Copies of this chain bind each other. A is one copy, B any other.
Amino acid sequence: MRKKTTIHDIAKELNTTAATVSRALHDHPSISVATKELVRQTAVRLNYRQNKLASSLRSGRTHTLGVIIPSAEISFFGSVVHGIERIARRHGYSVLLFQSNEDPACEAEGIEALLQAHVDGIIASVTKETTRYHHYLEVKQRRIPLVLFDRVNDSLEVPSVVIDDYKGAYLATMHLIEQGYKRIAHISGQQHIKIFNDRLRGYADALRHAGFPVEDDLIAYGKVSVESGRHCADRLLSITPPPDAIVAVEDFTALGAMQSIKSKGLAIPREIGLIGFANEAFSSYITPSLSTVDQQTIKMGEEAAQLFMELGKGKEGNPPPLRKIVLEPVLMIRESSKKTGS
């Protein structure tokens, strides 16, 4: 078992040629069932395994899907990747994962690396700090299928999967209103990220529809992190009169806000209501457990991968229609927002 067996070895063994062996192994229609069977047996016997490098070099396809996520430490992304992997595997693709660490430079490097690895397509969620999209444009120009999810950018005009962030924030805010909270603040994120802006609009519209004023003072703009959540909440709680509930742009921000609220000795949900966004793993662990908005992560990943598979089918010539999938957000009501105890 010292030297690796190749299709030539199999061919020699059977007094045939490499071409036949290759075709047999690929279940090519113009090969007799008999030889197919023979080839397969010999392949097993000689412990043959395909050299994907050679195959890819020749065919130009690697059956590999590149995925770029900001961080694997955010369980949301880990979960989406699961969904992607499931569909990918089902179609014979493997997944090459790259973390951008929320750094646009690193993100560009990642794309470069994936292109060099000759991935057949890229599925990505952009960095919070990304403002220029030249690296993504290059992917498009090279005609490599590109799909975005969650943190998307419409100007790129690529297929994408998101949840209805506007609606999610709307539902979250409405829920707090129904619970009897009267002065609801919002901690938002960078406005150039579409989903954060959508959530802000959802929050504002819910207030308006319920006949509440939308006060600029009650909206804090942060950087979407535990730290930033804490600072923003500190600021919000210091205004007079203070808010009696907070809609956070996502769960880590909500966690920071929770720390701030606790440190001031205020009771959640009795004195202050709190709701997050993302349904991060920790949100159900903490005390009080955090109400939040679930984003259907697995499904999001599956849809994104599915979108890629469809792109591949759009054979040269007829460009496939630009599909944007919008999933429904699901309100997860836990302790942090249950003022009425219902």
Residue ranges of A at the interface with B (Cβ–Cβ < 8 Å):
1, 49-54, 56-57, 62, 72-73, 75, 78-79, 81, 85, 94, 96-97, 99, 113, 115-118, 141, 255, 262, 281-282, 285-287
Give every chain B residue within 8 A of A62 (Cβ-Cβ).
53
**Known interface pairs A96-B96, A113-B94; A118-B286 also in contact (CB < 8 Å):** no
* Complex contact B50–A116 (CB within 8 A): yes
Look across to chain B and name the residue whose beta carbon is closest to the beta carbon of A52: B116
18 A-B pairs with CB atoms under 8 Å apart are: A1-B141, A49-B115, A50-B116, A52-B116, A53-B56, A53-B62, A53-B118, A72-B78, A73-B79, A73-B281, A78-B78, A85-B99, A94-B117, A255-B285, A262-B287, A282-B282, A286-B286, A286-B287
Nearest chain B CB to A103 CB, angstrom units:
13
Set B1, B79, B113, B281: member contacting A282, Cβ < 8 A: B281
Nearest chain B CB to A150 CB, angstrom units:
17
Set B97, B99, B118, B281: member contacting A52, Cβ < 8 A: B118
Give every chain B residue within 8 A of A1 (Cβ-Cβ).
141
Give Cα A62–Cα B64 distance, bound, in whole angstroms: 15
**Known interface pairs A72-B72, A72-B78; A54-B57 also in contact (CB < 8 Å):** yes
Give every chain B residue within 8 A of A56 (Cβ-Cβ).
53
